[in-house]
Amino acid sequence: MIFLVFLVMAIAVVVLVMRAAEKSGGAGGPGLGAPRPQRRPRPPRTQARPLAPDDDPEFLRELERRTRRDDGSPA
């Protein structure tokens, strides 16, 4: 019986503390019931994902140019 009384009192204390935190805004900012500030949408990525060297056409062209000999035949 004492356990039930203690349990009811503990629940009442928790509810009161939660209500007080909502009204006062808590220690670190808005209370639990306060609306969250809206997040800005992320701007779209302007750069493409980095390519691996073997997927980069510019790298492959440069590599092919370097491997050619002066006379134009492959190395």
Tell me the mean pLDDT per 10 residues along the chain, length 75: 93 93 64 68 73 78 79 56
- Alpha-carbon distance 31 to 23, whole Å? 7
Residues 6+ apart with CB under 8 A from 34: 22, 25
Do the beta carbons of residue 67 and residue 60 sit within 8 Å?
no
- Alpha-carbon distance 9 to 23, whole Å? 21
Can you give the pLDDT at residue 33?
Answer: 55
Can you give the pLDDT at residue 69?
Answer: 58
